[in-house]
Structure 1
Amino acid sequence: MTSSRAHLRWGILATGGIAHAFTSDLRTAGLSVQAVGSRRKEAADAFAASFEIPSAYGSYEQLVSDPDVDIVYVATPHTLHAEDAMLALEHGKHVLIEKPLTANAREAAAVREAAASRGLLAMEAMWTRYLPHMRRIHELLDAGALGEVRTVFADHTQSLPTDPAHRINALKLGGGALLDLGIYPVSFVCDILGAPTSVLAQARLGETGADTEVATIFTHAGGAVSTTLSSSRAAGPNTAHIVGTDARIDIDRVWYCPTTFRLSAPDGTVIEEFSSRVDGRGMQYQALAAEEIIAAGDRDSAILPIDESVAIMATLDKIRRQIGVRYGADGPDGS
């Protein structure tokens, strides 16, 4: 990425944990945070005080109506992403929408069309894609360092609260391991191999009907295969691997955060080792990318185009239909 960016004024929509992490990284990178909005004015005030944000609003409508806000980071639960992104777009704001883009592909396509019709950027905040180690991995892939990539596998597994009211277990909030955790490895294998040509999934459902474990097997164009595993009840290795005919890449724990990886020959000889040096969590890279895209006069991310985000949501829809998980926003066919 170049150093040219738009120097946008950010608005933060919602004040939960992910909004705190993102805003902290914006501050680390020296980006401008102009306003925050919450459904509760006291929550917005507290958030604004924590990050020295000039304006705090007790409604999302007030936030997106602020003429001093250029771009809105949508940090609400999954099932509200489409509604809140649409609100910002309707008020002429670019949007960076926390992953997953929406609750299903139908909503994702509607956000895409709304942004395109207004000449605005709508971008999924899959921050992992923008991290330095992932950019180096793509350089190696583009250079043919792995030969033919035959398989990719990754897990995102954590031990999260079992409380039925917690958002990870609440279907009305898009709860379940898949959309919260599994989207990371699903997006990763799509990034490396392209959209799957076939999808097989198995899952375990929890007490609320939300998925607690999901395993997938995908095939991709050219015959490559991939596997992913997500769990909200048990923490696994959280590593990822790309295996080619000439070499493999092993990404260490925690692979979807700034970390190390090794490029190794088939006999195990290490050809290259890469270590990320990142200030903060690393969420600022996606924000910097958004500013660069807008400064260049573009309205889509080359690293994660909106069409690809919609296609990933369609894959997640297929998985949910196979495992029997439905949300209130889903249509009659489960999408």
Structure 2
Amino acid sequence: MSAQVRWGILGTGKIAKAFATALKDTPDGVLAGVGSRTLEGAQAFAAQCGGAAYGSYDALVQAGDVDLVYVGTPHPMHYENVRMALEAGKGVLCEKAFTVNRRQAEELVALARDKKLFLMEAMWTRFLPAFAEVRRIVASGEIGAVRQVSADFGFKADVGPEHRLFNPELGGGALLDLGIYPLSIAAALQGPVTGVLAQADLGPTGVDEQTALVLRHAGGGMSVLSCSLRARLSSELTVAGERGHVRMNTMFHRARSVTVALADGTARTVDTPFLGNGYVHEIMEAQRCWRAGEIESPGMTHADTLMLMGVMDEARRQIGLRYASDND
């Protein structure tokens, strides 16, 4: 096993560049190569971010000096890309949403387990220091038994209908791209979802431009969540208990502090700085798991991913949103 964990990045978009940036701040992590559908695309990425350039996704996953593959392509490509990497014997960190639907996710999880290879959804917010502090506060009993989580995530997307955010062929829509963030955190805090109510605004291209979810969790608590591609939401997350609440400040997926406010009027704020651009923490966890020979992370298990994909399948059923992959 090499001294450094050698990463291959599959895809050359904005999220792939953010991941490459994070690798520069990650202990023992190094960018070994990048794969694109064209050699020119890979070379342009490598010139900016480093690593070797591969003119196809298959060439990247077959590379002998790549230990782990980060999949940063659009949602509908995840199933094919992750399968390709697993078949090549590589562990995989796959960007959210993990796949388009639960059926695809089940097949990939089964393959990873059969091959005993590491596989994790890249839900980086679960590994931020702010979230660890929220969990510590909740576990301490300071705010009492948790009864409700409220969270939103949204912005005004100033892009055309052909952009992946609005293009149904590219898995467009607010739920899969943005809603997965508050949904994942809510489930991490309150347990599996046992009931879903969904409402949405469907836009001209047929995808959801705004979606709201009311969830019931196995532990008896509730979550009220929303996401939007049309409104600049506060993007904060609040966990409310019987004696007070704790809030992940500013945008919860980039929270550098959390605030506890109790029913007696007292409040305090805890600083929770993160490394680099925030992705560093999930990369460190993936590397830890891979080095230990683990096939999943306790912080983002296969069961977590399957449950979340199932919730989004049900939400899409209720709002009338289907993708081509649902018909396979």
TM tier, smaller: over 0.9
SS of 1:236's partner is coil
**Is residue 296 from structure 1 mapped to residue 303 from structure 2 by the alignment?**
no
* Counterpart residue type for residue 308 of structure 1: D
Does the 8 Å CA contact 2:249/2:255 hold for their aligned counterparts?
Answer: no
C-alpha contact 1:7 1:291 (8 A) present in aligned 2: no
63, 66, 70: which one pairs with 1:66? 63
Cα deviations across residues 8-64 of structure 1 (Å, max 9, x unaligned)?
1100000000000011011122421101000011110011111221x1011001000
In 2, Cα distance between the equivalents of 1:251 and 1:52? 34
Confirm or deny: 8 A CA contact 2:26 2:283 kept in the other structure.
Answer: no
User: Which amino acid is 1:20 matched to?
Assistant: K
Quick one: distance in 1 between partners of 2:290 and 2:79? 21
- Give the unaligned 5+ runs of structure 1: none
Q: Residue 76 of structure 1 corresponds to which residue in structure 2?
A: 73
The answer to whether the Cα contact below 8 Å between 2:193 and 2:307 also exists between their aligned partners in 1 is: no
Contact 2:174/2:211 (<8 A) preserved: yes
Which of 172, 177, 181 matches 2:178?
A: 181
Structure 2 equivalent of residue 275 of structure 1: 271
Tell me the secondary structure at the aligned position of residue 206 of structure 2. Answer: coil
SS at match of 1:204: strand
Counterpart contact for 1:217–1:225, Cα < 8 Å: yes
Q: Aligned-residue CA RMSD in angstroms? A: 1.4
Query: Match for 1:95: what amino acid?
Result: V
Deviation of the 1:6 alpha carbon: 7.2
- Residue 105 of structure 1, aligned match among 93, 102, 105: 102
Alpha-carbon shift at residue 162 of structure 1 (Å): 4.2
Partner of 1:323: 319
Question: Which amino acid in structure 1 is aligned with residue 20 of structure 2?
Answer: T
Q: Partner of 1:263: helix, strand, or coil?
A: strand
Normalization by structure 2: what TM-score?
0.96
Instruction: Give distance in 1, aligned partners of 2:310 and 2:182.
Output: 15
CA distance in 1, matches of 2:292, 2:61: 23
Query: What one-letter code is carried by the residue in structure 1 that aligns with 2:277?
Result: R
Query: SS of 1:329's equivalent?
Result: helix
What is the letter of the counterpart of residue 12 of structure 1? I
Q: Name the stretch that deviates more: 321-330 or 156-165.
A: 156-165
**Partner of 1:56 in structure 2?**
53
TM-score (norm: length of structure 1)? 0.94
Give the conservation status (yes or no) of the 8 Å contact 1:72–1:93.
Answer: yes
Tell me which residue corresponds to 2:38.
Answer: 40
Residue number among 225, 238, 243 corresponding to 1:241 in the alignment? 238
Report sequence identity in percent.
40
Structure 2 equivalent of residue 91 of structure 1? 88
Partners of 1:95 and 1:317 in 2: CA distance:
23
User: CA contact under 8 A between 1:167 and 1:173: conserved in structure 2?
Assistant: yes
Conservation of the 8 A alpha-carbon contact between 1:170 and 1:208: yes
Alpha-carbon shift at residue 250 of structure 1 (Å) = 1.4
CA-to-partner distance for each residue in 1:278-313, whole Å, 9 max, x for gaps?
Answer: 343110110100111122222110111011111100
User: 2:261 aligns to what?
Assistant: 264
CA deviations over 1:59-101 (Å, ceiling 9, x no partner): 0010001011010000000011011000000000000000011
CA distance in 2 between partners of 1:78 and 1:287 (Å): 20
Gaps of 5+ in 2: none
Q: Which runs of 4+ in 1 moved over 6 A?
A: none
